[in-house]
Amino acid sequence: MKIISLNIRGFGSGKESKFGDVKSLCFVERPSILALQETKCHNLVDNWLFGLWGSIDCGYVQKEMVGKSGGQLLIWDKNIFEVSSELIGDFFIAIRGKWKKSGNESIIVNVYGLHDDANKCKFWDSLDQILCIDGVSWVICGDFNEVRDKSERLNCEFFENRAKRFNEFIDRNSLVDIPLGGRKFTRVSDDGMKMSKLDRFLVSDDFLNLWTDLKVVALDRSGIDKVIADSWSGPMGGNRKDCVFRNKLKRLKGDLKEWSKVHFGKLDSEIESVKKVVTDLELKAKVGYLNDEERAKWLNSRITWMEMEKIKTGMLKQKVRVRWMLDGDENSKYFHNSLKRKYNKNNIRGINVNGSWCENPNTIKEVAFNHFKNIFEVHSSDGPSLEGLFSESITSADNELFVQSTGFGFLVSFQRVAMLLLFPLFRRNRIH
């Protein structure tokens, strides 16, 4: 039996998505039950959750976020724990069931306590109400957002009255706070200065009797930095330093490949799975109406699909960037292959001349030249002419009238004037 509790602080989306981290955690640790707090998600779809868990042999219950915060999720292995009932409260979600191996009954509670005093009191009261159930063993895990004494905070403000109410709640319900191993604090601020122990496991005596070797261990933060550090610091045999360095690089390469495979290896299949859900619902909508549950499922599946596509796009961008760093500005193999295909497509390897196939380059050039020469060469000089349209000169009477009206004392050839005015209209270009 293994129960993992984790405040995910929002799954996020795109490059900020923590889906791969949680999936890797499930793959490595193989928990019986996974309790997540602050998912900051609305209704999550089956395929997305199955992908997170790594199997379809799981059940789940979820509490949606309120506003822009909150949200809880409980996932369990159906082969280990058989759930008979579920309960969703204001500050918790709980499942009741039996451990298949022993047949003993337990209630698992995933809690997320708020910060303000008013909600703190409601939080303890709501837990008191469900802890009155007898005949079962209890496990309460999650983020309580509270400490028991001053030693559980570092560089943080300590409220004695809040810690007192927390301790009274534990004593009142006869719960056992299992000591934390691995590290002292579970919450560290972004700057690394403030630390607190806000996450813990509280169990009943009956649960301790079921598992005599029960212990709580704070897991290391999962990420690529730890993978690199562990791989590089591991022992490596060899006398020559250059060989040791080479072998370390090889081992690091293999470890990074395995890490990437765990995080993103099934991304394409998961995208296709979610895409199929969206497509099936859209096809169903064409022939009839979708109910509220189906519309919500379609919307969440589409959002999940888009988030996965963003993750995949980011991975491809990184691969392209790495490829460019290795090759620089050199033209890629794909570029040269494209040029070859274009050259082969446009290249004239032969021509049909008078019914016979010819591949001689000189003959092909000559035939092509003659073909276009015949098209553009002018074979006739026929064109518009002004001949016969006008007389040689104007009459004496017209000349007299023209001189009187213009004041010019010379004879103007009307034919020449007409030619100068009308010539641009009859001019045409000829190709020789």
For residue 422, pLDDT beyond 60: no
Output the CA angle 250-251-255, nearest 5 degrees: 120
**What pLDDT band is residue 432 in, cutting at 50, 70 and 90?**
very low
d(CA 356, CA 337): 33
Q: Among 76-85, 237-246, 400-409, where is mean pLDDT lowest?
A: 400-409
Residue 107 lies in a domain: yes
Residue 99 lies in a domain: yes
Q: Which of 179, 195, 220 is the last residue of a domain?
A: 220
CATH code for position 106: 3.60.10.10
Residue 326, CA atoms < 13 Å, CB-side half-sphere: 7
Output the CA angle 180-183-184, nearest 5 degrees: 70
**What pLDDT band is residue 358 in, cutting at 50, 70 and 90?**
confident
- What residue numbers bound the domain in which 16 lies? 3-220
Q: Among 69-83, 354-368, 418-432, where is mean pLDDT lowest?
A: 418-432
Q: What pLDDT does residue 391 have?
A: 58
* Amino acid code (one letter) for 42: H
Instruction: Compute how many other C-beta atoms are within 10 angstroms of the C-beta atom of residue 294.
Output: 14
Residue 294 lies in a domain: no
Note whether 138 and 131 are within 8 A (CB).
Answer: yes
Look at strands 137-143 and 81-88 and give their pairing. Answer: unpaired
**Within 291-429, where are the H helices?**
292-327, 333-346, 361-376, 396-406, 414-426
User: Is residue 105 classed exposed, middle or buried when 0-12, 13-18 and 19+ CB atoms within 10 A define those classes?
Assistant: middle
Note whether 126 and 95 are within 8 A (CB).
Answer: no
Q: What pLDDT does residue 221 have?
A: 57
d(CA 111, CA 145): 10
Q: What pLDDT does residue 22 have?
A: 82
Note whether 262 and 23 are within 8 A (CB).
Answer: yes
Q: What pLDDT does residue 411 have?
A: 45
d(CA 39, CA 35): 10
Of residues 156 and 224, the one with the higher pLDDT is 156
Residue 201 lies in a domain: yes
Among all chains, which residue has been given the structure tokens 């997170």? 52
For range 380-384, the mean pLDDT: 61
Q: Which of 173, 188, 220 is the last residue of a domain?
A: 220
Q: What pLDDT does residue 327 have?
A: 57
Look at residue 103 and give its three-state secondary structure: coil
For range 145-164, the mean pLDDT: 83
Q: Among 53-62, 102-111, 414-423, where is mean pLDDT lowest?
A: 414-423
Question: For the segment 94-142, what is each residue's pLDDT rounded down to a tens digit?
Answer: 888 888 888 888 889 898 887 777 778 888 888 888 888 777 888 888 8
For residue 281, pLDDT beyond 80: yes
Question: For the segment 216-241, what is each residue's pLDDT rounded down to a tens digit?
Answer: 777 665 656 667 777 787 777 777 88
Look at residue 369 and give its three-state secondary structure: helix
Q: What pLDDT does residue 354 have?
A: 82
Note whether 280 and 22 are within 8 A (CB).
Answer: no
* Amino acid code (one letter) for 393: S
Q: What is the pTM of this model?
A: 0.52
Mean pLDDT of the chain: 77
Of residues 95 and 44, the one with the higher pLDDT is 95
Q: Which of 183, 199, 220 is the last residue of a domain?
A: 220
For residue 67, pLDDT beyond 80: no
Q: What pLDDT does residue 261 have?
A: 67
For residue 208, pLDDT beyond 80: no
Interior/surface letters 328-362, b for 16+ CB within 10 angstroms, e for the rest: eeeeeeeeeeeeeeeeeeeeeeebeeeeeeeeeee
Note whether 386 and 427 are within 8 A (CB).
Answer: no
Q: What pLDDT does residue 431 have?
A: 41
Output the CA angle 318-321-323, nearest 5 degrees: 110
Of residues 338 and 333, the one with the higher pLDDT is 338
Residue 38 lies in a domain: yes
Residue 86 lies in a domain: yes
How far CA 218 is from CA of 3, 130, 144, 163, 197, in Å, comes to 12, 27, 16, 22, 11
Of residues 379 and 113, the one with the higher pLDDT is 113
Question: For the segment 159-184, what is each residue's pLDDT rounded down to a tens digit?
Answer: 888 888 888 888 888 888 887 776 77
Q: Specify the number of domains making up the chain.
A: 2
d(CA 40, CA 8): 9
Of residues 331 and 258, the one with the higher pLDDT is 258
Q: What pLDDT does residue 345 have?
A: 77
d(CA 148, CA 102): 33
Look at residue 195 and give its three-state secondary structure: strand
Packed helices 160-172 and 117-130: angle between N→C axes, nearest 10 degrees = 0
**What pLDDT band is residue 428 in, cutting at 50, 70 and 90?**
very low
Q: What pLDDT does residue 410 have?
A: 45
For range 248-275, the mean pLDDT: 75
Interior/surface letters 37-55, b for 16+ CB within 10 angstroms, e for the rest: bbbbbeebbbbbbbbbbee
For range 65-82, the mean pLDDT: 84
**What pLDDT band is residue 406 in, cutting at 50, 70 and 90?**
low
Residue 110 lies in a domain: yes
Packed helices 46-53 and 267-287: angle between N→C axes, nearest 10 degrees = 170
For range 250-279, the mean pLDDT: 76
Residue 189 lies in a domain: yes
